[in-house]
Amino acid sequence: QVQLQESGPGLVKPSETLSLTCSVSGASISGYYWNWIRQSPGKGLEWIGYIFHSGSTNHNPSLESRVTMSTDTSKNQFSLRLSSVTAADTAVYYCAKSGFCSGSTCRNNWYFDVWGRGALVTVSS
């Protein structure tokens, strides 16, 4: 079955860039939409954005232009970078899968059927 695993630094200083990678097993990264979602006590669950294997991305406008996402098809991984972090970005970050492809047609159904275990990222000096 499809499994996801987040990795990256657990501590980031304010104003710096948070970087996380999600490793995908059991499925090709070329077949689905790959999302980042975070969960903090103050804001609950918040969708950050998705990336498709073609490189197209879509992110939550609440994060303005701080979000960058990329894929590495050779490693079957995708990544998140969140710039200019503050304490409000402290959260558990999840990667999650959505959508499907049938033949050459792909559709994002916008609900998340497989999740990683999550990575706690704390923003503190």
Partner 1 sequence: EIVMTQSPATLSVSPGERATLSCRASQSIKTNLAWYQQKPGQAPRLLIYDASTRATGIPARFSGSGSGTEFTLTISSLQSEDSVIYYCQQYNNWPPFFGGGTKVEIK
In terms of CB distance, is 16 or 63 closer to partner 1?
A: 63
Beta carbon nearer to partner 1, 16 or 100: 100
Phi, psi of 61 (to 5 degrees): -65, -20
User: Among residues 61 and 125, whose Cβ is nearest to partner 1?
Assistant: 61
Q: 13: number of CA atoms within 13 Å, CB side?
A: 2
Is 8 one of the binding residues for partner 1 (CB under 8 A)?
Answer: no
**Of 34, 47, 52, 78, the one binding partner 1 by CB under 8 A:** 47
Sheet strands side by side (includes 77-82): 3-7, 18-25, 77-82, 67-72
Residue in 2, 11, 45, 88 binding partner 1, rule: CB under 8 A: 45
